[in-house]
Structure 1
Amino acid sequence: MASIGSGLSPSSKTGARSMYTDRVSLTHITSNPSLGDEKPAFFSIKAFVSLIRPEQAMWYRACKTCNKKVTEAVGSGYWCEGCQKNDEECNLRYIMVSKISDTRGEAWVSAFNEEAEKIVGCSADELDKLKSEQGDIDGYQQKLKEATWVPHLFKVSVTQNEYNNEKRQRITVKAVAPINFAEESRFLLEEIKKMRNPQ
C-alpha cells in the first residue's frame, strides 16, 4: 500500500514531481475520514471526471496583476483590494467543483484555474464567451460534457474543513495530467510484480 501523505515525491529519472507515487483508490481517501486532520495528505489517483455541474459558478473575476478577486468599481472598471487600484479589464479564473470516479468509488473535488483548464480544455474566458456571447447554452454544456469520461492522473491534497461544527474532507486537485500509456503500463507491471513477490 502506498504510504500516506508523503506524495509529491521526485521522479528518480527526471527530478520532476511524479504522478506515480502514492497511488491510491478514491475509497482509500473517502473511507478514512481522519485523513488530512493534522496536516494535508497528498495522493495520486487515476480517475475520470464523471460530472461537472453546468449551473455552478465556475469562475470568478480576477485582477490581471495579482489574480485576486475583484469587484465592480463605481462608474466603470474593476476594483482590486489587493493592488488598491481600478482596472478597466479583468480575467476570469476557474474555481470549479467536479465529481471524479475510479473503479472503486467517487468523490467531489475542487480544481483551480490551471488544473481546471487542463480538465475542460479551454480557459474560463473562452468558456464564458461560449456561454454568453450568443446564449449558446448547448455549446457550453457540450464543452463540459466533452471533458467527462476522459482518463487523467490527478495529484490531490486532502485536508479537513469545519462546517457547522462538523469536520469534512476537502479534496483539491494540485496537478492533472493525461494518461501516458507507456508509463502507466510500466507502473502496472511493477504493481503486479509487488503482488507476486510481497516483502
Structure 2
Amino acid sequence: GRSSGILHTDNNAGGPATPIASITPYVGKWTIQGRLVVKGTMRFYKNQRGEGRLFSIDLMDSSGDIRGTFFNDDADKWIEFLEVNKVYRVQGGNVKPANKTFNQTKSEWEITFGRDTTFEPLDERAAPKVTYQFVKIDQVEQLDTGAIVDIMGIVQHADPLSEVTIKSGANAGNKISKRDVTIVDQSGKSIRLTLWDEAKDKVSENDNSAPVIAVKNCKVGDFQGKNVSTTRSSMVQVNPDMQEAHGLRGWYDFQGKNAAFTSVGGGGGGSMRDPRKTVSQIKEENLGHGDKPDYFTLRGWVSFIKRDGTWQYPANPSTKKKVIENGDQWLDESTGEMMAQCERRYILGAVASDHTGSSWVSAFNEPGIKIMGGKTADEIWEVQQAEGEGAFNGIFQENNFKPYVFKLRAKTEKWQDEDRVKVVVQEVSPMNFKEGSAELTNLIRAYIGNF
C-alpha cells in the first residue's frame, strides 16, 4: 500500500542534510533539514484540466528558504499533520523554477511534493531558529513597491476587523478578513501594517499592552501611502524571544511610549497623512474646485445619516453593479445575467461635523460598514424587513456622534446643470486620542520651529 510518508526515526538518520540554497533540479537526491516557517491555507483552483486544491509551505535552514506545494490527495494528506515552526527532515519532490508571482522566498526554485515525499519530525535542536533581516520603518519609504522585507515594530494601535471581497481569480467573490495596525520603532516613524486572513488574529484592538510584532516576508505597498502587508509567505510572531525584540521592548517602555511619531511617506490618491482640515476650511479654501481632487483628513463625528430609500442599492455580488428586481430574481442589465440573490451595498449620505461646522459627505460600502458599527447593508436590510422601522431607525441613531478620523476626497461635479463640490469618504477610522495627541505635539513642535 501507499506509504504514509510520516517517519519516526533518529535525528541523525538518513545521512547529511542538503543546504536549501544548494537545491536545484540538477541535484539528484536531496534531504532538507529545516524549519517550517509558513503554512498556507487550502486553496481551490480551476483550469482547463479541471478543478483542484492545493496548499503551500515555506521551509528554512541557515542557508535560505524555499517554497513547496502539495496538490489534491497529497494536500489532503499533509494539511493537518504539518505544523508551523516545527522542524522536519524532508525528502522527495520535483524541483522546478519558482513562480515569483506567488512565491516570495529567496530561492530561484520551488518544490512540488508528491506521493513519495516524506516528512520526519525532528527535535527542536536540529535546526536553527527563524532568521530575519529587519529593515527599520523609516527605510520602507525608499523601498520599491512590491519589495519583500522583514519588519518589526511595536503595535501602537489596532483597528477592528474588516472584510474585503476578492475581485479576481478562482476565489473571486469570496470575502477575506483583515486588520490594519499601526506599528512604530526607534526610527521615530510609524507605518500601517495590514494583517490578512489568519494573521489578523495575532493582535486585537482591545489589547493595550503595545506588543512587539515581527513579520517575515511582508510586502511593501503604495496604496494611499507607503505601507506593508502580510502575504501567503509571511510568518507573524508576537513578542518573539529574540534580541531585537527585547531591545525594542526596552526602548518603548522607557522612552518610545512618550515619543511622537510621524507616518512614512504619502502617495498617490491621498493618505491619512494628507493635510488636516476643518469643515470651515472646505469652503474657505475652495477645496474641490481645482482640476484634480483634493484629499484631506478631518477629525470629527457623524451627526446625521440619511435613512430614506437611497441608503443602499442591490448589487451583483461579482461585479458590484446595480441590479433590478425581475420577478423572484435579480437582473444585471450590464451583462444580462440573472441571479437568485443580490448583495446590498451602502451609498450613505451623512453629515460630518466638527467644531467649525457641518458638511454633507457620501460613504460607499467599506467606509459605510465602519460608520454603521460593523454591520453590512444586507444585515441592516434584514432588520428593516424582520423587525420594522423602529429597530431600523434605532441602528442609524445609535451610530451618530461617534468620533472618527475621515480621509475625504473633494471634487466639483455637475448636478442639474450646476457645479457642486462632492465630498466622498475614502477611509474612516475610530479616533485614536493617543495618536491624535502625538500628532498635535508634532504640529506644535513644527510651529515653534518656524520662529
Q: Secondary structure at the match of 2:295?
A: strand
Name 2:281's counterpart in structure 1.
Answer: 28
Is the alpha carbon distance of 1:14 and 1:20 closer, same or farther for their aligned partners in structure 2, counting shifts above 3 Å?
A: closer
Name 1:132's counterpart in structure 2.
Answer: 385
Q: TM-score, normalised by structure 2?
A: 0.40
Query: Which amino acid in the other structure matches residue 303 of structure 2?
Result: S
The answer on 1:123 being equivalent to 2:391 is no
How many Å apart are 1:9 and its aligned residue?
4.2
Query: Which amino acid in the other structure matches residue 325 of structure 2?
Result: E
More moved, 138-147 vs 189-198: 189-198
Query: Which amino acid in the other structure matches residue 394 of structure 2?
Result: Q
Q: Secondary structure at the match of 2:390?
A: helix
More moved, 107-116 vs 126-135: 126-135
Name 1:155's counterpart in structure 2.
Answer: 407
Is the alpha carbon distance of 1:127 and 1:156 closer, same or farther for their aligned partners in structure 2, counting shifts above 3 Å?
A: same
The answer on 1:90 being equivalent to 2:337 is no
Distance in 1 separating the partners of 2:429 and 2:359: 18
The answer on 1:45 being equivalent to 2:260 is no
Name 1:104's counterpart in structure 2.
Answer: 356
More moved, 34-43 vs 111-120: 34-43
Stretches of structure 2 lacking an aligned partner (at least 5 in a row) = 1-223, 227-262
Distance in 1 separating the partners of 2:334 and 2:307: 30
Q: Secondary structure at the match of 2:344?
A: strand
State the Cα RMSD in Å: 2.1
More strand by share: 2
Q: Secondary structure at the match of 1:149?
A: coil
| Alpha-carbon displacement from aligned partner over 1:47-94 (angstroms, at most 9, x marks no partner) | 100011233421000001111000122x43111123331001101001
The answer on 1:113 being equivalent to 2:353 is no
How many Å apart are 1:18 and its aligned residue?
4.4
How many Å apart are 1:164 and its aligned residue?
3.1
Which structure has more RCO (C-alpha within 8 Å, separation ≥ 6)? 1
Name 2:315's counterpart in structure 1.
Answer: 62
User: Which structure has the bigger radius of gyration?
Assistant: 2
Given that 2:287 and 2:410 are in contact with CA atoms closer than 8 Å, whether structure 1 keeps it comes out as no
Q: TM-score, normalised by structure 1?
A: 0.86
Distance in 2 separating the partners of 1:89 and 1:115: 23
Given that 2:225 and 2:265 are in contact with CA atoms closer than 8 Å, whether structure 1 keeps it comes out as no
| Alpha-carbon displacement from aligned partner over 1:167-193 (angstroms, at most 9, x marks no partner) | 110000011111122211110111122
Is the alpha carbon distance of 1:35 and 1:174 closer, same or farther for their aligned partners in structure 2, counting shifts above 3 Å?
A: same
